[in-house]
Structure 1
Amino acid sequence: MQGLSHLTFIVRDLERAARFFCGGLGASEVYDSAARHFSLSHEKFFDLNGLWLVAMQGEPPAERSYRHVAFQVAEDDLPLYEASLRAIGAEVRPPRPRVAGEGQSLYVHDFDNHLFELHTGTLGERLEHYQKKSCSRLMGKREQPI
């Protein structure tokens, strides 16, 4: 295994998906299959800071769920992304309850029921914090409310 190749999202409207990826997340459109369907249907490719994203025309998920893709972002950039996503009409969700040390997150649904998270923390930071919380519980220490 060498890493992640690409992420594909099934969408009703490719132009609307392009607005979400480009206008909301800052990706660049790099390919449009137009009338040449090399895959299952019309698709567009995007580059998001070196990550290959695909929007493929079709029937998206009928319902929303917590299944999501999380992108790591700098904490200072979170308000900029939120403003961009709101400006294109994407639905920014209320934040979920968090514990200190997890980092901050912005949750947003695209126009086809896909959930995206923009997250400021790392796996290492979260595990380190969870380890500290586990150790303090084991030692009978009370934690301050968050």
Structure 2
Amino acid sequence: MKGISHLTFIVRDLDRMATFLCEGLGAREVYDSAHRNFSLSREKFFVLGDTWLAAMEGEPPAERSYQHVAFAVSEPDLSRYRDRLEALGVDIRPPRERVEGEGLSLYFYDFDNHLFELHTGTLEQRLARYADGR
């Protein structure tokens, strides 16, 4: 196993998702199947950091849940992302209760009920904090 190849999100409106990913999160669009589908439906591909994201037209999740994808960001960049996402009308959620030392998070839903998180901590920091037990 090498790791994650890509993440796919099913969305109603590919152009709206492109705006969310590119303007809100700084992704770069690299492919649009337009009228030549090679998969189940029209799709667009994006690169965010080193991660390949795919968005496909279809029926997104009917309900919101805590299932989410989290992207690593630096603490100084967190407020910049918040401003960009708020300007797009994204639903920013209140942060969950945290213990000191596990990093900061910004939780938000896209327009199709997918939950995203921007997180400033690392797995190593969280494991060390939880091992501390306080």
Say whether the fold is shared (TM-score over 0.5).
yes
1:56 equivalent in structure 2: 56
- Deviation string, structure 1 residues 91-121 (Cα, Å, up to 9, x no partner): 1111111111110000000000000000000
Query: 1:130 and 1:3 mapped to 2: Cα distance?
Result: 25
| Counterpart-to-counterpart distance in 1, 2:30 and 2:72 | 22
Write the distance in 1 (CA, Å) between the matches of 2:47 and 2:66.
24
Residue type of the alignment partner of 2:8: T
How many Å separate the matches in 2 of 1:120 and 1:52?
Answer: 20
Q: Distance in 1 between matches of 2:132 and 2:84?
A: 36
**Which string of whole-angstrom CA distances, capped at 9 and with x for unpartnered residues, describes residues 27-46 of structure 1?**
00000000000000000000
Residue 47 of structure 2 corresponds to 47
RMSD (Å) for aligned C-alpha atoms: 0.7
Q: 5+ unaligned residues in a row in structure 1: which ranges?
A: 134-142
The amino acid that maps onto 2:9 is F
Aligned length: 134
Counterpart for residue 37 of structure 2: 37
Taking structure 1 as the reference length, what is the TM-score of the superposition?
Answer: 0.90
In the aligned structure 1, how far is the partner of 2:39 from the partner of 2:116? 24
Shift of 1:49: 1.3
Say whether residues 1:77 and 2:77 are aligned partners.
yes
**Identity in percent:** 67
Displacement of 1:50 after TM fit?
Answer: 1.7
2:17 alignment partner in structure 1: 17
- Aligned match of 2:7: 7
Matched AA of 1:45: F
Could you tell me how far apart the structure 2 residues matched to 1:47 and 1:26 are? 9
The answer for the alignment partner of 1:98 in structure 2 is: 98
Give 3-state SS (helix, strand or coil) of 2:125's partner.
helix
Aligned to 1:124: 124
TM-score scaled by length of structure 2: 0.98
Task: Look up the equivalent residue of 1:83 and give its one-letter code.
Answer: D
